[in-house]
Structure 1
Amino acid sequence: MLETINMDIFFEFLNNLSNPDWIVSHGGLYLLLFIVFAETGIMIGFLLPGDPLLFIAGMIVSNMTLSPGAELPTLLSWILLISLSAVLGNFLGYWCGKVFGTRIMGMKDTWFFKRHYIVKAQEFYEKRGGGAIVLARFLPVVRTFAPIVAGIVKMDFKKFVIYNILGAVIWAGSLMTLGYLLGENPWVQRNLEFVILGIVLLATAPVILKAVVGRGKVKTSVRDAD
């Protein structure tokens, strides 16, 4: 019973994260910093909506009442702080993977942790190398586990730092700038739910496409073997 209540509260929290006014009244930038850090540094964070949240962060800045000339510096400062939060989150993930790698891989599957998440992230990392840290920023679930995998395989730390910072700046900068540019558009404001859905679909499309193509290749291999 208590677990059901807690899950209801959590899903209500997730639902509220699509409401800019709710975010502003419940911590604003500080809430955003915490969520970005959690999504990129804590395993359970893969449930958090990173991409839509960055878009909404840009919208919040665009609708602030600011003195003339303060708009761009405010946007840049938000991008810098959120990028820093994402960088620190990945550092935590890397450290956890390096220190607890064996224990993490030995964990039993639960409702929030599946071993195949780690395996998929590792496959993605092995194919893309250091660039996976950058690309993973734009892939839900993968971005949570990519730094953990980097720690598990003991990726060169200096290399990890470079790709970590680069990926965080590109991820936060692009999505927040898009939200800032479209944030005052009446159609976007009226149809924010559809815009967020579109962002989620675009972000997950590569993962879904890869899964479908991979399944097709497996079926073809089986038929050829027969």
Structure 2
Amino acid sequence: MLALLPDWLDPQEILEAGSYLILFAVTFIETGLLVGFFLPGDSLLFTAGVFAAKGDLNIVVVAVGCFIAAVLGDQVGFLIGVRAGPALFRRPDARLFHQAHVRRAEEYFEEHGPKTIVLARFVPIVRTFAPVLAGVGKMDYRRFVTYNIVGGLLWAVGITLLGYFAGEAIGEENIDRYLLPIIGVIVLVSVLPVAREYLKTRRASADQSEPVEPPPSAG
């Protein structure tokens, strides 16, 4: 699976090319900027933890740095939603954005905000857009910051430590042998929720498009 990715999206290539700087930059962009939704997140953090187990990186620097980058990324995403939201939704006749979307976002994040901000961390693509929607929906800022920190801690620190302890358990002599299959499984598991939601949306759209037969006329 990873062999299909270009080199600049391969977690190993990213870490070998730029170490800490690129690791933190990719984490920030993938979580905070809308243009970064295609970048590796889970697999990159896990691989960074494995590299730390090999001694190529410092696990404390990796975990703390990725945590800070992830939290700052979501903060930027939230501000993008707050500031760009009014402009995006200003015209009611816009093809993709209108006031109904704003109201829907406000209602959704008022009801599910905390859970969404934390759980979205573990779903590719969704984690890129969740903070922006929180900003558009005018989620309470202090509430957002609190759950942003919790989500960033669980995601960034949790996955890097998972990679670190996996690398320790496998042993340095076997890391290169098992790293690619493990990352492939992580990518597959990460994509499954997105694929499931996509199929549900397609199925719902198909059901709505089916013609409704008129009732038979009497006599």
Q: Note whether the superposition's TM-score is higher than 0.5.
A: yes
Any conservation in 2 of the 1:182–1:188 contact (CA below 8 Å)? no
How many Å apart are 1:177 and its aligned residue? 1.4
Helix, strand or coil: the match of 2:138? coil
Q: Which runs of 5+ in 2 are unaligned?
A: 214-219
Please say which structure displays the higher CA radius of gyration: 2
Separation in 2, partners of 1:224, 1:52: 44
User: How much is the aligned-residue C-alpha RMSD, in angstroms?
Assistant: 3.2
- The size of the alignment, in residue pairs, is 198
Tell me the CA shift for residue 209 of structure 1: 1.5
Corresponding residue of 1:211: 198
Show the counterpart of 2:80. 96
Distance 2:89 2:175 in 1: 43
The percentage of counterpart residues that share the same residue type is 36
Quick one: distance in 2 between partners of 1:143 and 1:94? Answer: 12
Whether the aligned pair in 2 keeps the contact of 1:97 and 1:104 (CA below 8 Å) is no
Shift in CA distance, 191/164, structure 1 to aligned 2, threshold 3 Å: same
Which residue is equivalent to 1:18?
A: 11
TM-score by length of 2: 0.76
- What are the superposed Cα offsets for residues 42-86 of structure 1, whole Å, 9 maximum, x if unpaired? 1111111011000011011101179xxxxxxx4244212211110
> 1 CA distance for matches of 2:205 and 2:16?
49
Asked if 1:181 corresponds to 2:165, the answer is yes
CA contact (8 A) 1:62 1:181 kept: yes
* Distance in 2 (alpha carbons) for counterparts of 1:172 and 1:224: 47
In the alignment, the residues of structure 1 paired with residue 34 and residue 201 of structure 2 have an alpha-carbon distance, to the nearest angstrom, of 25
Q: Report how far residue 145 of structure 1 moved.
A: 0.9
Q: Is the 8 A contact 1:125 1:146 kept in 2?
A: no
Please report how far the alpha carbon of residue 101 of structure 1 lies from its aligned counterpart in structure 2 after TM superposition.
Answer: 1.2
CA distance in 2, matches of 1:61, 1:38: 22
Specify the SS of the correspondent of 2:46.
helix
TM score, norm. by length of structure 1:
0.74
Confirm whether residue 197 of structure 1 aligns to residue 184 of structure 2. Answer: yes
Q: Which residue of 2 aligns with 1:155?
A: 139
1:61–1:75 contact (8 Å) kept in structure 2: yes
Deviation at 1:134, TM superposition (A): 0.7
Aligned equivalents of 2:143, 2:15: Cα separation in 1: 36
Q: Deviation at 1:142?
A: 0.9
Q: 1:65 to 1:41 in 2, by over 3 A?
A: closer
2:34 corresponds to 1:50: no
| Residues in 1 aligned to 2:207 and 2:84: alpha-carbon distance in whole angstroms | 38
Preserved CA contact (<8 Å) 2:30 2:37 = yes
